[in-house]
Amino acid sequence: MDGNIQAPIRIRAGQTNLYLFTIQDGLLLVDAGTKGSLKRLEQGLASHRFHLEDIRLIVITHTHYDHVGGLREIVDRTRARVLVHAAESDFLCRGFTPFPRGTGLLSKGISLLGRSLLRKTGRYAPVFPDIVIDKSLDLGPYGIQGRIVPTPGHTAGSVSILLEDFALVGDTLFHVPPWRIYPPFADDEPALAASWQKLLETDCRIFYPAHGAPISREFFNRRAKGEGQRAKGIGQRAEGIEHRAESRGRKAEKG
């Protein structure tokens, strides 16, 4: 790791951060924000002397509406290709992603609302992806040292982009409020804990979340011991429940 890659450009579009970094023949954009983010993106690009047409590839960290709601209008204005994980490509084609599960008391309530009364918030203009991945992808062919890796947990198709010193992690880390990083929503918490482990095993020094400010490795490490343990506990409990169910099943078979 020689740290040659410059830190990504961060554009704040409402509640969601969009990130840009240079690849071989233009720019790679990470996430598209909510509907209407195009204007903020254009302003951000202009302040760095770039244009919309410079975007060559759009990597979607996952298909929640606050990450893909603005995708259609960006795709219509560029020749960029869209990359998404296989577990969520059908959602993107349909223009609907189910509301995620809450990880806390409040977010569990919001999730319940999101899945029932507020179901419409999961809808967005559909987009057909150009590249669908189901394992990690080397970015070498795009002229940059790095890779896209699956980091499931927040959603089944969540991915992170690892670039030498930096990682762009979508909602796998969630830096709002600023004293915590555990996502308020996650469909699979044990998988999320494994993805945190995977990120901590990289050499990355700074982790860029889609919500909130960048996270240092030190802070991530510290929080992982507190908040991350919680997720692992849930994993162990889930295993325990499975175990008990299995032995009950065996007993029932015998009986």
Residue with tokens 């579009």: 13
What would the two tokens of residue 72 be?
């259609």
Contact segment (CB under 5 A) with Zn ion among 33-41, 79-87, 171-179, 200-208 equals 171-179
Q: Among residues 23 and 169, whose Cβ is nearest to Zn ion?
A: 169
Contact segment (CB under 5 A) with Zn ion among 36-44, 77-85, 117-125, 168-176 equals 168-176
State the Cα torsion 58-62-42-81 to the nearest 10°.
20
In the shown chain, the binding pattern of residues 202 to 241 toward Zn ion, with x for contact by CB under 5 A and - for none, equals: --------x-------------------------------
Query: Judged by CB under 5 A, does residue 165 bind Zn ion?
Result: no
- Taking a C-beta distance cutoff of 8 angstroms, is the pair 9, 19 a contact? yes
Give me the amino acid identity at 252.
A
What would the two tokens of residue 62 be?
């996952």
Query: CB of 209: closest distance to Zn ion in angstroms?
Result: 9
Query: CB of 182: closest distance to Zn ion in angstroms?
Result: 13
Q: Among residues 11 and 210, whose Cβ is nearest to Zn ion?
A: 210
Crossing angle between the packed helical segments 229-254 and 189-200, to the nearest 10 degrees: 130
What would the two tokens of residue 66 be?
């606050």
Among 31, 66, 165, 227, binds Zn ion (CB under 5 A): 66
Give me the amino acid identity at 199.
L
- Dist. CA 7–CA 194, nearest whole Å: 26
Query: CB of 43: closest distance to Zn ion in angstroms?
Result: 21
**Beta strands in the chain, from DSSP E residues, in sequence order:** 9-13, 16-23, 26-30, 55-59, 81-85, 131-133, 137-138, 147-150, 159-163, 166-170, 206-209, 215-216
- Taking a C-beta distance cutoff of 8 angstroms, is the pair 131, 82 a contact? yes
Query: CB of 181: closest distance to Zn ion in angstroms?
Result: 13
Count of residues binding Zn ion (CB under 5 A)? 4
**Sign of dihedral through CA atoms 9, 146, 58, 200?**
negative
- Dist. CA 35–CA 82, nearest whole Å: 17
Among 64, 85, 101, 223, binds Zn ion (CB under 5 A): 64
Contact segment (CB under 5 A) with Zn ion among 49-57, 138-146, 169-177, 191-199 equals 169-177
Contact segment (CB under 5 A) with Zn ion among 58-66, 114-122, 213-221, 224-232 equals 58-66
Query: Judged by CB under 5 A, does residue 171 bind Zn ion?
Result: yes
Query: Judged by CB under 5 A, does residue 31 bind Zn ion?
Result: no
Contacts to Zn ion by CB under 5 A: 64, 66, 171, 210
